[in-house]
Chains A and B, each alone.
Chain A
Amino acid sequence: MSRSAKVFTAATLCVALAGTGMVLAQQRPAAPAAGAVAAAAHVAAPQRTGLGREAHAAEVAAWAIAIRPDGQGLPPGSGSVKKGEDIYQTQCAACHGEFGEGAGRWPVLAGGRGSLKGENPEKTLGSFWPYLSTTFDYVRRAMPYGNAQSLSNDEVYALTAYIMYLNDLVPESFELTRENFTSVPMPNVGGFYDDDRETTERAFWNPNPCMTDCRPTVPQVTGRARVIDVTPEGRSGPRVE
């Protein structure tokens, strides 16, 4: 194609695009969507496209069910240990065991206190989970397994209370409510700290990693996967040609 023909084609295309109302996105002025609030509330003045729509309050209420440790997001309601036990035995015990001990490989819900430094750490609400809100949030959004979000808020309060009871955190007479939710601290709340690898593992940044004679002795095999023998594969030996 000759240069003049290319210019002609490009010009024709521009006219055609303009004729159909197409505007290059980069050239569009940063017009805020109608009704946008004062720019002071923004981190930076955003460039808005007007795509999407505003959410209905009931839509947000239906999906925004995350609970924070400070209780933000908790719905109104309450539930007792006793009521929780009834629900637990019919809805939860088949997998988690009658006393939260876990059936088969399903998660253990109770016990494990003092196990975190040992051979088999058991991570329960009583031994590990830092916040009660996580139990309420998770049971409400994901349990019972295979029938998620089928429990009422009162039932989730009751089950949470019962799991607290199984972990010796409250007496049998306890009733959990939105109002008293943050009054019982979890035993391991102080057991967590933010990622510090870039300071405590600083030695792994090494400008001169060893290239030759890096070990004083010839390495010896100290452990073998085949001895453990848990790999789900056939293992016919290869033939070397």
Chain B
Amino acid sequence: MTETGMSRETARLNRRGFLGAAGLAGAGLATAATGVRAAPPATPDPLITDVQDWARVLGDGVQARPYGSPSQFEKHVVRRDVEWLTASRESSVNFTPLHELDGIITPSGLCFERHHGGIAEIDPSKHRLMINGLVDKPMVFTVEDLKRFPGRQNHAYFLECAANSGMEWRGAQLNGCQFTHGMVHNVWYTGIPLKTLLDEAGIRTNAKWLLAEGADSSGMTRSIPLDKGLKDCLVVWSMNGEALRPEQGYPVRLVVPGWEGNMWVKWLRRIEVGDQPWHQREETSKYTDLLADGRSRRFTFIMDAKSVVTNPSPQAPLKHKGPNVLTGLAWSGRGKIGRVDVSIDGGRNWRTARIDGPVLPMSLTRFYVDFDWNGQELMIQSRAIDETGYVQPTKDELRKVRGVNSIYHNNGIQTWLVRANGETENVEIG
């Protein structure tokens, strides 16, 4: 199905869902059509009748903001961290403010950060990328070399930390989608296929695994199956059209589409080619999924389909009765999102949301439900279904098969409780 075809299909389902949703309307949600418009005020609005400063005096000239920043009135739209999570902020994480964003592209300065040894600040002229191991010739490339390779590509991909929602395994803990789901971002990357560099060095026939290594003080390393490296991994220097930000791996990072964020090695300085995995710290002690029987899954690379309603959510409560826009994000490491369903009664009844914007493989996808709110309590959930037919499970379904100790890969359905006063809370339901 084409992307446009997909959008039409979901729109059709959406309308049908509304028509057949008399029960849902009774629960406080109806199609946006019944608003009663307010009368003119008793006194006119001075914001209209008085000449405001910004309409009278000259503002900043073109020299004042050589690199633009968001409005001074958007200062609250920032990444936030949770201090008690980690022993040191140099090996820690902060979170994307998903509830303040729309569309599918994450602004570069709001992409969550996860470092294991702080941000490496690297002069690109001093950066080197080495390919060694089971190759004809070990090679060294400069950043300028990389930018001269033919076959440059552009892709939008989501990057989700395997531990996103990891604090929620035992129950509702953090009150805001920024904290429960904010270890994900989605940007446009520009770079070259990793295969191009591997071909340049010449891979030996017995090669099966790659080791990607960063230049930071943690010397971050991950083993990656060669097949994945040849299929769609990229070596990139650009995000959203400009150079990578230092906290995202400037000058060069690895892109591993659909797979857990830890593998997307930042400050990429080396690719070793081998015939076995290396079993590094981040694929043994960390990023393995401890199950209820005390054994652990390893190499759980793919990020299962997942979604979250970003508005309303605890940091973005409902403030108005009448017309409102429910929106959220869905993504899958296995390809495109096929459909997103939304429930307002804790998963008893579902309707299919409207998807808007591009539906790209292994990219965030934006969905909407336009609705009227009559002030009744809501239990809002969303459920992603990807093109392989995988249906995002409930948290209890996940716990049944994985227990509560696995830390990573929590893609369970999130519930937001909207109270009569609009206040919205992260809750567990049973």
Which A residues lie within 8 Å of B136 (CB)? 36-37, 41-42
A225 touches B221 (CB 8 A): no
* Inter-chain pairs besides A36-B137, A142-B116, A232-B82, 14 sampled, C-beta below 8 Å: A25-B150, A66-B221, A106-B87, A123-B285, A130-B284, A137-B221, A137-B280, A137-B281, A192-B288, A195-B298, A212-B349, A221-B417, A222-B428, A225-B173
Q: Tell me, in angstroms, the Cα distance from A60 to B133 when the chains sit together.
A: 9
A226 contact set on B, CB distance < 8 A: 175, 425
Q: What DSSP secondary structure best describes chain B's contact surface?
A: loop
Candidates A204, A225, A239; contact of B319 at CB < 8 Å:
A239
Chain A residues whose C-beta falls within 8 Å of the C-beta of B298 in the assembled complex: 192-195
Q: Which of A63, A138, A209, A240 contacts B321 (CB 8 A)?
A: A240
Q: Is the CB of A148 within 8 A of B428?
A: no
Residues of chain A touching chain B, judged by Cβ–Cβ distance below 8 Å, are: 25-26, 33, 35-37, 40-44, 46-49, 51-55, 59-60, 63-70, 95, 104-107, 116-117, 121, 123, 128-131, 133-134, 137-138, 141-142, 145-146, 148-149, 191-197, 200-201, 204-207, 209-215, 218-226, 228, 230-233, 235, 237-241
Q: Do the beta carbons of A54 and B138 come within 8 Å of each other?
A: yes
A36–B202 touching, CB < 8 Å = yes
Contact with A along B150-169 (1 / 0, CB 8 A): 11000000000000000000
State the CA gap A195–B402 with chains docked (Å): 12
- Measured in the bound complex, the distance between the Cα atoms of B339 and A6 in whole Å is 46
Give the complex CA separation of A57 and B240 in angstroms. Answer: 37
Determine whether the beta carbon of B297 is less than 8 Å from that of A42.
no
CA–CA, A148 to B288, complex, Å? Answer: 24
B389 near A206 (CB under 8 angstroms)?
Answer: yes
Q: What is B's interface to A at a CB cutoff of 8 Å?
A: 23, 80-84, 86-88, 90-91, 116-117, 130, 132-133, 136-142, 145, 148-151, 171-176, 179, 198-200, 202-205, 207, 211, 213, 217-219, 221, 269-270, 272, 274, 276, 278-281, 284-285, 288, 290, 292-302, 304, 314-315, 317-321, 341, 345-351, 375, 379, 383, 385, 388-393, 397, 401, 405, 417, 420-423, 425-430
A-B contact pairs, 7 of them (CB 8 A): A42-B202, A141-B218, A211-B349, A219-B429, A224-B425, A233-B80, A233-B176
Nearest CB of chain B from residue A60's CB, rounded to whole Å:
5
A43 neighbours in B (Cβ, 8 Å): 203-205, 207
B residues in contact with A107, CB < 8 Å: 87
Contact flag A64-B290 (CB < 8 Å), given A148-B219, A232-B82: no
A141 near B297 with CB under 8 A, answer no
Among B86, B285, B319, B393, contact of A134 (Cβ-Cβ < 8 Å): B285
Query: Are A205 and B285 touching (Cβ within 8 A)?
Result: no
Across-interface contacts of A64 in B (CB, < 8 A): 130, 132-133, 270, 272
Nearest to A35 among chain B residues (CB) is B137
- Chain A residues, CB < 8 A from B428: 221-224
Is there contact, CB below 8 Å, between A46 and B175? no
Residues of B contacting A213 with CB < 8 Å? 348-349
Q: Are B175 and A238 in contact (CB under 8 A)?
A: no
Chain A residue at minimal CB-CB distance from B393: A204
Given contacts A41-B136, A129-B284, contact A66 B347 (CB under 8 A): no
When distances are taken between beta carbons in the complex, the residues of chain A under 8 Å from B141 are: 51-52
Q: Which residues of A contact B133 (CB under 8 A)?
A: 64
Q: Flag if B347 contacts A195 (CB, 8 Å).
A: no
For A128, the chain B residues whose CB sits under 8 A away are 285, 296
Task: Report chain A residues within 8 Å CB of B417.
Answer: 221, 224
The CA-CA distance from A5 to B284 in the complex, in Å, is: 65
When A64-B270, A105-B87, A219-B346 are in contact, do A224 and B427 touch as well, CB less than 8 Å? yes
